[in-house]
């Protein structure tokens, strides 16, 4: 414990410097704006600002991007409460009771409870992350290529199971991402694969053009005719919750914190799942479940706390194992790699300033967000008044400059345009495009660990079943696959029996 506190002190020394603080503040501010604007999620926001992060020291870059992520988690609740439009997928559930409270003239307390719950849960989540990640990283040092391969495979299968579309569609997208990750020079043999003679493709398609195209450009292509919004604008004096509202929120906030953190460790978009689970738990535990849907403060406090704690929990596999099991973490890992840092269990010992600086920045970020979100709610609401006709050309400009500045490459801009077109078509056909980006980033790690495992075993595929960790992880992956397949197989058998 003393070590942990000492390390945390080191983290605060890193973060409490003017330059890092400024970027933490900027990240939170931009993230909140991204969260407030419907349609623009944290992924699009982070993708657009990736190039700026490449010119920064690693700790500052991660602090900036992580600030955008949890800023978006905070900001998403504002539009849910004031306009019944979720700014971010995790805030969908807040629309129900949050907006109902707003309609009853309690918009201020709903916003305050959401912000306070997010602060408590965000901070609680960081405490759990800080205590859990280092021992898990020590355990992960025993991981060899077979375990890494099994973990990545399990991550992709779990992500496909819990992502927004049907599992076969998500698996299709994950396979497409993995396949796109094969483009470029094979690091083991030196062969140039699928690059069609284009020299720029030797290094692959690039995660930034792909992510900006799939999330940023396709979003603009999809949002035709978006209207100017006229949200309610609560005054600062109306933000204080009543004693009854404050008392009713305490339990849901703590339960949401624990539920959110635990679900957050699950691969994929767990923050979305956590808010739904928290809502269901609060409704089940309530003595008056009939109030849910009619402005119950517990329906705001629980889910908002859960989605912020889940944001902290989702960093556990990334920081402890160096394995991104969600698209947001995949982007952060990509940034670390570009900046010359090898993510993995050794990150904590080799780059303590980065790990503990990141942890400390989350404490600071949560405080900044609390300060930003309550008094400045009017400012964020103002962003919703910018006519869409002006907003989307500006976002396009950000996408173009963001992608171009990475390598000054016209080809990467064309890749972004192609990814935008593909993302548009796939999303219209109700495919979730997040597994593409995750698959793309995991692809080299997956192939390398697979081939290294076979090299270790002299070509014996049973190596994956001779090692307990690898076998367990693969079994979880197969179990998840069966969870999806089994019901339809049982239905078919029942039909055949009936016939």
CA atoms within 13 A on the CB side of 366: 23
CB of 98 to another protein, least distance (A): 24
Which one among 416, 433, 438, 441 touches another protein, defined by CB under 8 A?
A: 416
Interface with another protein in residues 43-102 (CB under 8 A): 51-52, 55
Cα dihedral sign for 36, 40, 42, 47? negative
Q: What is the distance between the alpha carbons of residues 295 and 106, in angstroms, rounded to a whole number?
A: 9
357 is written with which tokens? 């600086």
Which one among 413, 465, 471, 476 touches another protein, defined by CB under 8 A?
A: 413
Q: What is the distance between the alpha carbons of residues 206 and 181, in angstroms, rounded to a whole number?
A: 9
Which one among 340, 458, 497, 498 touches another protein, defined by CB under 8 A?
A: 458
CB of 158 to another protein, least distance (A): 16
The SS3 call for residue 375 is coil
| 281 neighbors 274 (Cβ within 8 angstroms) | no
Which one among 16, 421, 476, 481 touches another protein, defined by CB under 8 A?
A: 421
Which one among 105, 168, 289, 375 touches another protein, defined by CB under 8 A?
A: 168
Query: C-alpha angle with apex 83: 79 to 88, nearest 5 degrees?
Result: 30
CB of 248 to another protein, least distance (A): 36
List residues bridging with 185 in a β-sheet. Answer: 192
Size of the site for another protein (CB under 8 A): 62
170 or 361, CB closer to another protein?
170
Binding of another protein at residue 425 (CB under 8 A)? yes
Residues 40-67 as b/e (b if ≥16 CB within 10 A, e otherwise) read bbbbbbbbbbbbbbeebbbbbbbbbbbb
Which one among 132, 338, 400, 476 touches another protein, defined by CB under 8 A?
A: 400
Binding of another protein at residue 447 (CB under 8 A)? yes
Binding of another protein at residue 198 (CB under 8 A)? no
The SS3 call for residue 401 is helix
Which one among 139, 198, 386, 397 touches another protein, defined by CB under 8 A?
A: 397
| 239 neighbors 112 (Cβ within 8 angstroms) | yes
| 309 neighbors 266 (Cβ within 8 angstroms) | no
Q: What is the distance between the alpha carbons of residues 251 and 259, in angstroms, rounded to a whole number?
A: 12
CB of 405 to another protein, least distance (A): 5
The SS3 call for residue 216 is helix
Binding of another protein at residue 465 (CB under 8 A)? no
CB of 116 to another protein, least distance (A): 35
Under the rule (CB under 8 A), what is the footprint of another protein? 51-52, 55, 166, 168-169, 171-172, 175-176, 178-179, 182, 186, 188-189, 191, 193-194, 217, 220-222, 224-225, 389-390, 392-394, 396-397, 399-401, 404-405, 408, 410, 413-414, 416-417, 420-421, 424-431, 447, 450-451, 454-455, 458-460, 488
């Amino acid at each position: 414990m003393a070590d942990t506190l000492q390390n945390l002190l080191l983290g605060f020394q890193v973060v409490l410097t003017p330059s890092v603080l400024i970027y933490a503040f900027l990240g939170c501010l931009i993230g909140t704006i991204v969260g407030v604007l419907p349609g623009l999620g944290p992924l699009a926001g982070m993708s657009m600002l990736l190039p700026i992060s490449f010119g920064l020291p690693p700790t500052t870059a991660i602090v900036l991007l992580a600030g955008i992520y949890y800023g978006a988690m905070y900001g998403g609740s504002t539009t849910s409460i004031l306009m019944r439009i979720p700014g971010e997928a995790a805030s969908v559930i807040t629309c129900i009771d949050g907006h109902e409270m707003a309609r009853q003239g309690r918009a201020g307390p709903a916003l305050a409870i959401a912000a306070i719950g997010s602060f408590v849960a965000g901070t609680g989540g960081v405490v759990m992350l800080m205590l859990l990640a280092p021992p898990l990283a020590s355990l992960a040092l025993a991981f060899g290529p077979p375990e890494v391969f099994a973990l990545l495979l399990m991550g992709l299968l779990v992500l496909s199971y819990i992502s927004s579309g049907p599992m076969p569609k998500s698996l299709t997208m994950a396979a497409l991402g993995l396949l796109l990750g094969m483009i470029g020079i094979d690091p083991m043999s030196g062969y140039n694969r699928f690059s069609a003679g284009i020299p720029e493709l030797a290094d692959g398609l690039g995660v930034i053009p792909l992510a900006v195209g799939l999330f940023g450009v396709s979003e603009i292509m999809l949002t035709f005719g978006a209207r100017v919004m006229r949200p309610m604008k609560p005054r600062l004096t109306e933000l204080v919750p009543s004693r009854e509202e404050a008392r009713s929120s305490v339990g849901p906030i703590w339960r949401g914190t624990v539920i959110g953190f635990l679900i957050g460790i699950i691969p994929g978009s767990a923050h979305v799942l956590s808010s739904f689970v928290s809502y269901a738990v609060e409704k089940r535990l309530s003595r008056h479940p009939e109030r849910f849907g009619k402005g119950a403060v517990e329906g705001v406090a629980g889910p908002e706390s859960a989605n912020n704690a889940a944001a902290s929990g989702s960093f556990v596999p990334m920081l402890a194992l160096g394995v991104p099991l969600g698209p947001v973490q995949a982007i952060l890992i990509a940034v670390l790699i570009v900046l010359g840092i090898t993510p993995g269990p050794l990150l904590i010992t080799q780059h303590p300033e980065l790990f503990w600086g990141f942890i400390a920045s989350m404490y600071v970020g949560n405080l900044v967000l609390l300060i930003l979100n309550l008094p400045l709610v009017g400012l964020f609401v103002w962003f919703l008044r910018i006519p869409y006709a002006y907003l989307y050309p500006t976002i396009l400009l950000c996408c173009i400059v963001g992608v171009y500045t990475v390598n000054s490459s016209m080809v990467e801009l064309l890749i972004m345009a192609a990814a935008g077109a593909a993302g548009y078509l796939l999303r219209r056909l109700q495919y979730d495009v997040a597994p593409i980006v995750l698959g793309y980033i995991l692809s080299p790690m997956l192939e390398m660990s697979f081939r290294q495992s076979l090299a270790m075993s002299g070509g014996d595929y049973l190596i994956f079943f001779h090692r307990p960790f690898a076998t367990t992880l693969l079994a979880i992956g197969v179990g998840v696959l069966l969870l999806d397949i089994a019901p339809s197989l049982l239905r078919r058998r029942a039909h055949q029996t009936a016939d």
